[in-house]
């Protein structure tokens, strides 16, 4: 250890032309958009390539006629026969009932909603072609709301696609628009010929062949290969999509490599130690090997003159904040400002208090910025930031507001980065005004990133991982308990309180909701207050005034409150070592990652800790499959990386990634769980294409991302 004396310190690429799917009118006048055209835009179908890539949800087989005698219950079939009976009945409610005889058997068609045109087409004696699901009825088999038309004409030669749509956009119009877009779209090959079969289980077809087949598959195709997306045509699309993602991420990485950032090297202090050394000297604990490793990775980045773009990931309680503090003091020691932004005031204040305790003895001034500040306090903070007197700025979204002007920002730290949108991260980076330079960016998350996500959505980032917990963290016993045993849980709380411990009780709602039957925080607070006489029970939720929230948290942290009833505002950032029991109400309603975060609020002291997952099945006899999988995972593991892997399996990347994708598009076709070979192929091809075929790479990115690739720089 160094013996450090106290310091003395003085204060884009443009998008292709949008092509309308259908021109209205002629001449130079711009015709008003029809309802279907507006609906197309609502679906994001603006370019011909957008229409071509709008693929069917499912298919209907209108290529064959099935005899009723050969159809089984549950089959989706097309029949042709004569209407022998048609009437409107009023039992049990108004409906149109039509009987069709195809010569082998009869079937009743039932319509709850119908029009006069239905009755006209389905009049007695008419010969009709009907498609629907065969069901067993009371008297005879039936179809409910089938599709139908007058018989005659050639049968379809391909399966009929059914597309995702919105109100005001009929399937017939959408099919015509999609086929028109497919015919006009530029689908010239963008993949180098040598890569169409290299390192792939089967050669890729051309893009036009693949899309034409998926929009109009032949009736001999195995439907299962279309539904599970294993058909070669699907493989081509997924390969293209993954390649576009890899190209755009790699391109974003190379664009940043061409940018400049201030190299943050510690000055020579003579006999004095660097701020980083002083901080390490005064910490009441030693860094783990993992913290030292990731700290060195960050320090190496900060010394470069290209902007750092690093994600620091670590499980709940792994010690990310002290690593961020070490990065901050390196920045400050080099003569620059640092900003730390957190998504909630509770989390931001938790950081602020820790950092003040660590950095104030080193002579570092820290400014505090939130939306709830009083005007005078805010003016003083803004003045300190603008003058450079505040070397460190900690706050919420308030940090990126227009009135916040930094003197010389060089490092931006964003905690729980997935809770911020792309535009918000860009706004923080834009706060640096020094001669076109970019600040270094360190993003932190307590939700570990599974390997396949790191290879795809986070391929533009350098990732540092804290993969060990500090010594002294106690294992947390997790129990899944039915709400019918609530009294036993309350008894467990009494025993914890008797030992001088504290308890969290988390609820998903603040007030009663007519639409969702959940026990809310207010009711629970009242019930626990009555059940635990002599114990102070606190209540915390997001609608409380900030000053009131602050007071409640201070009371719980100091030990005045024995029980804290809260909504998920305590999900991250709350550190009370004396709290040893976490009860989560309606645990089946929470996501797996959120459950893991909440559980991480206990087990921070020396006492044995537990997490009780209270579940309710409501009217259902048992838990749903997804909820059961989440609760099972919580009982089986406390490893955040394993939790993240299972969470990705359950939710998929869209929900898992959250706000990171508010600008960059999610994968629509590829599946990271099953398409690992294609992902590896795309990762290998991307650098080769950018190096040897830059024009093809540019066209490929435009085809799939349009102008959205800009957001990847966030």
pLDDT in tens, 219-248: 888 888 998 899 999 999 999 999 998 998
Segment 265-276 shows an average pLDDT of 74
Q: What is the C-alpha to C-alpha distance for residues 494 and 532, in angstroms, rounded to an integer? A: 7
The verdict on pTM exceeding 0.75 is no
**Per-residue pLDDT for 529 more than 70?**
yes
CB 375 within 8 A of CB 599: no
192 compared with 198, residue with greater pLDDT: 192
Whether the bond into 476 is cis, omega within 30 of 0: no
Q: Would you put residue 38 in left (φ > 0), alpha (ψ -120 to 50) or beta? A: alpha
User: Residue 103, class by beta-carbon neighbours within 10 Å (0-12 exposed, 13-18 middle, 19+ buried)?
Assistant: exposed
Nearest CA among 621, 517, 502 for reference residue 564: 502
The stretches of 168-306 forming alpha helices (DSSP H) are 171-184, 207-215, 223-227, 232-257, 275-282, 289-302
Segment 146-172 shows an average pLDDT of 88
| Angle made by CA atoms 395, 396, 402, in degrees to the nearest 5 | 90
* pLDDT on residue 6: 45
User: Residue 648, class by beta-carbon neighbours within 10 Å (0-12 exposed, 13-18 middle, 19+ buried)?
Assistant: buried
Segment 12-26 shows an average pLDDT of 39
Tokens representing residue 236 in the block: 């081509």
CB 67 within 8 A of CB 188: no
Direct distance between the N- and C-terminal alpha carbons of the chain, in angstroms, rounded to an integer: 39
CB 538 within 8 A of CB 530: no
Nearest CA among 580, 309, 243 for reference residue 442: 309
* pLDDT on residue 450: 74
CB 644 within 8 A of CB 450: yes
Segment 19-43 shows an average pLDDT of 62
* pLDDT on residue 514: 47
Segment 488-515 shows an average pLDDT of 83
**Per-residue pLDDT for 513 more than 50?**
yes
Q: What is the C-alpha to C-alpha distance for residues 96 and 113, in angstroms, rounded to an integer? A: 8
CB 558 within 8 A of CB 536: no
* pLDDT on residue 691: 93
Percentages helix, strand, coil for the chain, rounded to the nearest 5?
A: 40, 15, 45
Q: How confident is the model at residue 662 (pLDDT cuts 50, 70, 90)?
A: very low
* pLDDT on residue 194: 84
pLDDT tens digits, 69-107: 999 888 889 999 999 999 999 888 899 999 999 999 999
Neighbours of 172 (CB within 10 A): 9
**Per-residue pLDDT for 18 more than 90?**
no
* pLDDT on residue 241: 92
Q: What is the C-alpha to C-alpha distance for residues 30 and 27, in angstroms, rounded to an integer? A: 8
Q: Would you put residue 586 in left (φ > 0), alpha (ψ -120 to 50) or beta? A: left
Q: What is the C-alpha to C-alpha distance for residues 636 and 7, in angstroms, rounded to an integer? A: 49
**Per-residue pLDDT for 291 more than 80?**
yes
Q: Would you put residue 211 in left (φ > 0), alpha (ψ -120 to 50) or beta? A: alpha
CB 546 within 8 A of CB 372: yes
Nearest CA among 436, 448, 348 for reference residue 400: 348
**Per-residue pLDDT for 707 more than 90?**
no
Is 115 strand, coil or helix?
A: coil
**Per-residue pLDDT for 381 more than 50?**
yes
**Per-residue pLDDT for 266 more than 60?**
yes
Segment 484-512 shows an average pLDDT of 88
Segment 390-417 shows an average pLDDT of 87
* pLDDT on residue 30: 47
Q: How confident is the model at residue 401 (pLDDT cuts 50, 70, 90)?
A: confident
pLDDT tens digits, 595-637: 888 898 888 777 889 999 999 866 555 677 888 888 999 999 8
Q: What is the C-alpha to C-alpha distance for residues 701 and 642, in angstroms, rounded to an integer? A: 33
Number of residues assigned to the chain = 714
pLDDT tens digits, 553-584: 889 989 999 999 998 776 555 778 899 999 99
Tokens representing residue 610 in the block: 């537990």
**Per-residue pLDDT for 152 more than 80?**
yes
* pLDDT on residue 649: 75
* pLDDT on residue 517: 52
CA distances from 199 to 92, 208, 264, 684 (A): 62, 22, 43, 9
* pLDDT on residue 708: 56
Segment 649-667 shows an average pLDDT of 55
- Helix (H) or strand (E) holding 240, with range, is helix 232-257
Is 603 strand, coil or helix?
A: coil
* pLDDT on residue 268: 63
CB 211 within 8 A of CB 186: no
Q: Kindly list the structural domains of the chain, giving each domain's residue range(s) and its CATH number in brackets, ordered by start.
A: 12-59+160-186 (no CATH), 64-150 (2.40.50.140), 275-466 (3.40.50.300), 476-637 (3.40.50.300)
CB 140 within 8 A of CB 106: yes
Q: What is the C-alpha to C-alpha distance for residues 617 and 614, in angstroms, rounded to an integer? A: 10
* pLDDT on residue 420: 61
CB 119 within 8 A of CB 111: no
Of 26-30, 298-302, 614-618, the least confident: 26-30
Is 318 strand, coil or helix?
A: coil
pLDDT tens digits, 673-694: 788 889 889 999 999 999 999 9
**Which strands form 142-144's sheet, in the order they lie side by side?**
142-144, 106-111, 95-101, 76-89, 127-133, 147-150
CA distances from 665 to 242, 327, 689 (A): 12, 31, 21
> pLDDT above 90 covers what percent of the chain?
40
* pLDDT on residue 28: 46
Calculate the average pLDDT of the chain: 83
Burial pattern 536-551, b for ≥16 Cβ within 10 A else e, equals: ebbbbbeebeeeebee
* pLDDT on residue 60: 85
44 compared with 8, residue with greater pLDDT: 44
Query: Cα 575 vs. chain centroid, distance in angstroms?
Result: 26
Max CA pair span of the chain: 105
């Amino acid at each position: 250890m160094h013996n450090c004396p106290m310091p003395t310190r003085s204060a884009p690429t443009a998008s292709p032309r949008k092509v309308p799917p259908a021109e209205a009118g002629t001449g130079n006048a711009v015709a008003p958009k029809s309802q279907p055209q507006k609906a197309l835009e609502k679906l994001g179908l603006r370019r011909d390539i957008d229409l071509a890539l709008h693929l069917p949800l499912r298919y209907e087989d209108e290529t064959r006629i099935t005899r009723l005698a050969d159809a089984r219950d549950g089959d989706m079939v097309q029949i042709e026969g004569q209407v022998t009976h048609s009437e409107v009945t009023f039992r049990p409610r108004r409906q149109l009932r039509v009987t069709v005889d195809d010569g082998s058997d009869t079937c009743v068609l039932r319509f709850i909603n119908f029009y006069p045109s239905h009755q006209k087409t389905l009049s007695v004696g008419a010969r009709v072609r009907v498609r629907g699901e065969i069901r067993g009825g009371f008297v005879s088999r039936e179809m409910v709301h089938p599709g139908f038309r007058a018989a005659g004409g050639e049968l379809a030669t391909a399966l009929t696609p059914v597309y995702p749509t919105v109100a005001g956009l009929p399937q017939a119009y959408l099919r015509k628009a999609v086929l028109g877009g497919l015919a006009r779209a530029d689908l010239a090959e963008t993949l180098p010929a040598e890569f169409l079969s290299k390192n792939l289980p089967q050669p890729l077809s051309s893009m036009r062949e693949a899309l034409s087949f998926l929009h109009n598959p032949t009736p001999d195709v195995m439907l299962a290969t279309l539904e599970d997306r294993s058909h070669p045509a699907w493989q081509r699309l997924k390969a293209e999509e993954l390649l576009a993602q890899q190209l755009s991420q790699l391109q974003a990485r190379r664009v940043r490599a061409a940018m400049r950032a201030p190299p943050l090297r510690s000055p020579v202090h003579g006999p004095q130690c660097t701020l980083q050394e002083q901080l390490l000297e005064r910490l009441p604990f030693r860094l783990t090997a993992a913290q030292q490793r990731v700290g060195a990775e960050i320090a190496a980045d900060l010394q470069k003159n290209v902007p750092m773009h690093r994600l620091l990931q670590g499980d709940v309680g792994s010690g990310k904040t002290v690593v961020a503090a070490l990065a901050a003091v390196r920045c400050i020691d080099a003569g620059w400002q640092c900003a730390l932004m957190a998504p909630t005031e509770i989390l931001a204040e938790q950081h602020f208090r820790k950092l003040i305790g660590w950095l104030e003895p080193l002579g570092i001034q820290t400014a505090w910025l939130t939306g709830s500040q009083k005007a005078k306090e805010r003016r003083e903070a803004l003045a300190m930031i603008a003058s450079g007197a505040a070397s460190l700025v900690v706050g919420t979204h308030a940090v990126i507001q227009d009135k916040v002007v930094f003197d010389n920002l060089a490092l931006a730290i964003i905690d729980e980065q997935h809770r911020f949108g792309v535009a918000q991260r860009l706004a923080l980076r834009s706060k640096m005004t020094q001669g076109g330079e970019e600040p270094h960016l360190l993003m932190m998350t307590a939700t570990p990133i599974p390997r396949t996500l790191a290879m795809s959505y986070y391929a533009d980032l350098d990732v540092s991982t804290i993969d060990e917990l500090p010594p002294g963290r106690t294992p947390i016993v997790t129990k899944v308990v039915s709400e019918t045993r609530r009294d036993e849980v309350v008894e467990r709380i009494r025993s914890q309180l008797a030992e001088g411990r504290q308890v969290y009780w988390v609820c998903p709602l603040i007030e009663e909701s007519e639409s969702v039957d959940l026990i809310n925080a207010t009711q629970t607070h009242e019930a626990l207050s009555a059940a635990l006489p002599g114990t102070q029970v606190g209540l915390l939720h997001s609608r409380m005034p900030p000053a009131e929230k602050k007071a409640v948290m201070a009371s719980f942290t100091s030990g005045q409150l024995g029980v804290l009833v809260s909504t998920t505002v305590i999900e991250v950032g709350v550190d009370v070592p004396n709290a040893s029991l976490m009860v989560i109400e309606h645990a089946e309603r929470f996501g797996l990652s959120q459950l893991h975060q909440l559980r991480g609020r206990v087990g921070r002291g020396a006492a044995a800790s537990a997490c009780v997952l209270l579940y309710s099945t409501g009217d259902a006899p048992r838990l749903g499959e997804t909820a059961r999988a989440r609760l099972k995972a919580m009982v089986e593991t406390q490893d955040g990386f394993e939790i993240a892997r299972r969470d990705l399996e359950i939710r998929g990347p869209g929900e898992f990634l959250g706000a990171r994708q508010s600008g960059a598009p999610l994968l629509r076709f590829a599946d990271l769980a099953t398409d690992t070979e294609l992902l590896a192929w795309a990762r290998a091809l991307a650098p080769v294409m950018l190096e040897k075929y830059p024009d093809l790479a540019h066209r490929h990115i435009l085809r799939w991302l349009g102008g959205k690739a800009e957001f990847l720089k966030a």
